[in-house]
Amino acid sequence: MIYSKIEGEGQPMLIIHGFLGMSDNWKTLGAQFAKLGYEVHMLDMRNHGRSFHSSNFSYQDMTTDVWEYCQAHQLKDVILLGHSMGGKIAMFFASQYPDIVSQLIVVDIAPKHYAPHHQDVMQALNAVTFYEGMNRKEVEDIISQYVTDAGTVQFLMKNVHRVTPTLLGYRFNLEVFNANEHAIGEELPSTATYSKNTLFIRGGNSDYILDSDFEAIKNHFPKAIIETIAGAGHWVHADKPNELLEKVSTFINS
């Protein structure tokens, strides 16, 4: 079963991270949601964080993982929040298991197909050859040759950990990501719908959700509200956490 961090008590809220992310990316906001009276489950999806590695990597696989997690924890009336890849998983899940999900929040991803666009990041990650005694600074220096944005570099470095006392490695399953580069861009099936209250949040500086995507969003999620957080890029929760917290809280309580 996939790994999770659980905080708080109350109505369950599941938070699903994006590609190359992990539950730790949401620990600050997760703690704030817990203080508002929710039992917050921050998940590590397969091949990410502390969850298991598998050669099978698709949205359907990850949707099944979330369903099995809900069954094991006897979760119902779930508030489901997902960012980027996690938002797409949340869409798949809510459309397949609407009886479990009471409200859906999708952060900076549309139900459409996305062409592979992480080439610089994947090139950077594949450029690192871990060896005995290698330190974190050496890993960071290699990644920084391919990725110029300091925030993205630090995001990637969160995945570097000690496999043994003298050997670093990645938490995620890079080999499987290399073999399944198109999986992350898969679109939501045309027949998939979720008719309960739904909130889409996009970053004002991000191009992941365009105005031209609104029609498709409404086709899949007829009760969708689409909000924009000015000044936020794709990592809305890192760029504007207070604004995101406010919009999600207002939506949940409306």
Distance CA 119, CA 154 (A): 17
Long-range contacts of range 55-62, CB-CB < 8 Å, 24 or more positions apart?
55/176, 55/179, 57/173, 57/176, 57/177, 57/180, 57/183, 58/180, 58/183, 58/186, 59/88, 59/89, 59/92, 59/183, 59/186, 60/92, 62/89, 62/92
Distance CA(160)–CA(163), nearest Å, equals 9
Does residue 143 contact residue 137 with C-beta atoms inside 8 Å?
no
Phi, psi of 135 (to 5 degrees): -105, 170
Q: How many helices (H) and strands (E) does the chain have?
A: 10, 9
12: helix, strand or coil: strand
Q: Which residues contact 9 (CB under 8 A, 6 or more apart)?
A: 34, 37, 39
Catalytically active residues are 84, 234
